[in-house]
Amino acid sequence: MGRDAIYTGRDSPRTMRQLGLFYFALLATAGILLPFFNLHLKQLGFSDWQIGLVAAITPLSRILFPGFWGALADRSARRNALLITGCAGMTLALGWVMTVSDFTWMLMAVLVMQFFSSLTGPLVDACALVMATEQGFNYGRVRVWGSVGFIAAAMIVGKLLDGFSTTVGLGCALVCCVAATGAAAWLPPLPKPPQVAGAGRARRRDLLRQPEIAALMLTGLLAQVSHGAYYNFFTIHLRAEGYAPSVISALWGLAVAAEVGLIYKSDALVRRFGAGRLITVSLVAAAVRWGALALSSAWPVLVLIQPLHALSFGGVQMGGMYFIHERFPDQLKVSGQSFYTVASWGAGYLIGSLFAGWANFALGAFWSFGISAFIALAGAWVAFAGLQARGAIGRR
């Protein structure tokens, strides 16, 4: 599939609205849970180590389950039904999470929620990229609504939590899950996988053995390891420094607002610079961000470094998605996105969460964020050496 097919053509307004609404509702849920779920656990009396273990359920699930869901979706002609099932299951499980205060039951409830959640992202991302190619619309303009939903939810719930308990925040996340299920039911028919011989497990292994694909997977892993301290303890760290929940949510919102601009322009950026170069530069920016956060939590520093989230998250994520979309055949595109989820949001996030839980307790914020900076630099080197050397970086 040619690169230009991704970026040129006319927009398809109805399809874009339907996908945009789904992304908005789905990532609004993340905009509440990511900044504030660990704070909820803290208010329940969980220790830092227990919080780290609960947080590790999310990436562990994204190691165990996406392969199953990806293989199923690549064979299934009922992708819409699969997506609705994933969203509905996630909604019911989140309702269970809201009723739990015991550590063991919390682990089980979060595991069930993440089982269903691990389907939604790779399936929609793979299908939306195919639909963008076939219908000639700009994928970045659809995906950006997810970031808008994240910002809106984080800002609104952060303000609510100045006067209410974190249970209210989880209730708002539940409403967003219900909305995502409804939006999934409204989506147009998702592209059916072509039936091609040799699209099974052996073919997947062959693709993963390609040096540039292996380099991409390692880069995604290191990128998410470096984010472990930020995702799991940034809110707790700032609360300990005396920042109000509304201020913390504003800082999260500032980060994602910057991400919106990059995602909106991601098609043009990847076309001009190449996915690999975008990933390399983004990881250098991540190293700068974590290094500055290790040295200071003063508000001027935070205001300056939070926009780097556009690169540390947005640049790496979008670069990886486009890379996978271009290099995996149509009959394995969901599996390709699932593999990237396993490497980055699975193994990388798991290692990063466990590291953050230990480092925050044993070493403190300075070393936790400082080590994260060096991990991001290692990821930048892998992207530079593993992708650029094989011509997978830069213009075509």
Assigned CATH for 3-192+202-388? 1.20.1250.20
DSSP 324-370: HHHHS-GGGHHHHHHHHHIIIIIIIHHHHHHHHHHHHHHT-HHHHHH
Residue 372: partners with Cβ closer than 8 Å, 6 or more residues away: 225, 226, 227, 228, 229, 230, 290, 294, 352
CA atoms within 13 A on the CB side of 284: 8
Fill in the amino acid letter for 87. C
Amino acid 195: pLDDT = 63
Residue 224: partners with Cβ closer than 8 Å, 6 or more residues away: 59, 344, 345, 347, 348, 349, 352
Measured N-to-C along each axis, helices 166-186 and 139-160 cross at an angle, to the nearest 10 degrees, of 150
3-state secondary structure of 266: helix
* Closest to 232 measured CA to CA, from 43, 48, 14, 5: 48
In angstroms, rounded to a whole number, what is the distance separating the alpha carbons of residues 334 and 308? Answer: 29
Amino acid 218: pLDDT = 94
In angstroms, rounded to a whole number, what is the distance separating the alpha carbons of residues 310 and 97? Answer: 31
Walk along the chain (396 residues) and give the pLDDT tens digit of each residue: 333 334 344 458 889 999 999 999 999 999 899 878 988 998 899 987 888 788 878 878 888 998 888 888 888 778 899 999 999 999 999 999 999 999 999 999 999 999 999 889 888 988 898 888 788 888 888 999 998 998 889 888 888 887 788 889 999 999 999 999 999 999 998 887 766 555 555 466 677 778 888 889 999 999 999 998 888 788 888 888 888 877 887 888 788 788 888 988 888 888 888 888 899 999 999 999 999 988 888 888 899 999 999 999 889 989 998 888 887 877 788 888 888 888 988 899 888 878 887 877 777 778 888 899 999 999 999 999 877 644 444 443
3-state secondary structure of 98: helix
Q: Give the tens place of pLDDT for each residue, 350-375.
A: 888 788 878 777 777 788 888 999 99
The number of beta carbons lying within 10 Å of the beta carbon of residue 4 is 10
Can you state the percent helix, strand and coil of the chain, rounding each to 5? Answer: 85, 0, 15
The domain segmentation of the chain, as residue ranges, is 3-192+202-388
Amino acid 201: pLDDT = 52
Which tokens hold the place of 267?
Answer: 């098609």
CA 377: distance to chain centroid?
Answer: 20
DSSP 257-289: HHHHHHHHTHHHHHHHH-HHHHHHHHHHHHHHH
DSSP 150-185: HHHHHHHHHHHTTTS-HHHHHHHHHHHHHHHHHHHH
Which tokens hold the place of 307?
Answer: 């926009």
Q: Are 35 and 235 in contact (CB under 8 A)?
A: yes
